[in-house]
Structure 1
């Protein structure tokens, strides 16, 4: 007599992780199952005008104010003013979302990131240390994505599998595994590229160039890779399947 089958099998760790990644992607507007133009998807992933402003303006204000207040003798800018304005603007964005009763997760994330970065700089008295949290984030994301690709459990694949309703079944398809692995490697390369380009300027204590590079290598590189990822996933599954 055969044993009764479990009517409600427990999800595996990979499935739970895939659901979490897929849920985050869906909230960001990256759902391949939806009929949307690539431009619309990329714009949604960046959060629209408000999201772009929340991502760019605090960092831009920091680097502009710091550069304009550099003392010719010491070579240092006004750290407190630069950080105060940067964190203050991030706080204003968060408050504006609260008042408008809009989702505040992105704004709060930006505020916390600005506050943590400011704390690094304040406690050490070195403006360049404002960029340390960003280095850590890039290193962690890049390493996680690369390892996932090498192990055949691409984080991109886990997210896409959940969004497309097939869980981890994509791993049985060689074409999907190959594409998802290369997408994860591409994202890892982006994070490592940021580290490789920016770290020398951090070591040289060139705050102005470092801040400029962080802005240039932020959304301008993020947006095209989002588009490539979106198009690749849609090509794998096709509009009919979606």
Structure 2
């Protein structure tokens, strides 16, 4: 059991690394301040916090990836909200992202190139041809289908709250359905994917690369 937990932890580090909460704090700051003061004050506080996080990471010589992402996101979102004079518009970039993910997952399934496989290829650098094997691809198709359902549900909830103009609910929805659910989804996707690959009885990435013939050991780790 301990070995499995360590394995999952190591796999998650391939996808989620750095100070991820740096990208989550500015939106929460925006919602908190906007509920008590004005849109302008909320925008200033969100941008200042994002900039402060970038400075802290830079001084400590820590990864800037999420801090810079949070700053760019805060500037874009605050600009949209401020110039439209609508606090709910702060979350428009998040809604656009959800829309893109829905279409990306759907189109990838229609084209027979599941998004989960493409994501894995970009993360791990495995041979792309391995993912398209008939004894491998079904695992990635099924995981992508689950992702699509989740993306659709999140998008529908975001649209509902956006139409209501509920800034606080939008903040918590984007936060809770962001990193926490993403990490849980990655863990479940990994566990299911490894199990499914084993049941499909296809070759491992290395066996495929070496052109080995059956019987195969199969993929025992990594998805």
TM range (shorter): 0.7 to 0.9
CA distance in 2, matches of 1:129, 1:116: 10
Instruction: Please show how residues 48-87 of structure 1 align to structure 2 within 5 Å.
Output: 50-51=19-20, 53-69=21-37, 78-87=38-47
Indicate whether 1:201 and 2:161 are aligned.
yes
User: Are the aligned partners of 1:90 and 1:114 in contact in 2 as well (CA < 8 Å)?
Assistant: yes
Instruction: Please show how residues 1-242 of structure 1 align to structure 2 within 5 Å.
Output: 36-42=6-12, 45-47=15-17, 50-51=19-20, 53-69=21-37, 78-161=38-121, 163=124, 165-174=126-135, 176-235=136-195, 236=197, 237=204, 238-239=219-220
Task: Note closer, same or farther for the CA distance 1:180–1:117 as it changes in structure 2 (3 Å cut).
Answer: same
Question: 1:44: Cα distance to partner?
Answer: 6.3
Which secondary structure does the structure 1 equivalent of 2:113 belong to? Answer: coil
User: Are the aligned partners of 1:148 and 1:154 in contact in 2 as well (CA < 8 Å)?
Assistant: yes
Question: 1:99: Cα distance to partner?
Answer: 2.0
Task: Note closer, same or farther for the CA distance 1:58–1:229 as it changes in structure 2 (3 Å cut).
Answer: same
Question: 1:40: Cα distance to partner?
Answer: 4.6
CA distance in 1, matches of 2:13, 2:130: 30
Q: Which has the higher contact order (CA 8 A, sep 6+)?
A: 1
User: Are the aligned partners of 2:11 and 2:222 in contact in 1 as well (CA < 8 Å)?
Assistant: no
User: Mind listing any 5+ residue stretches in structure 2 that lack a counterpart?
Assistant: 198-203, 205-218
CA distance in 2, matches of 1:79, 1:178: 48
Equivalenced residue count is: 197
Question: 1:43: Cα distance to partner?
Answer: 6.1
User: Are the aligned partners of 2:54 and 2:68 in contact in 1 as well (CA < 8 Å)?
Assistant: yes
Q: What is the Cα-based RMSD across aligned positions, in Å?
A: 2.5
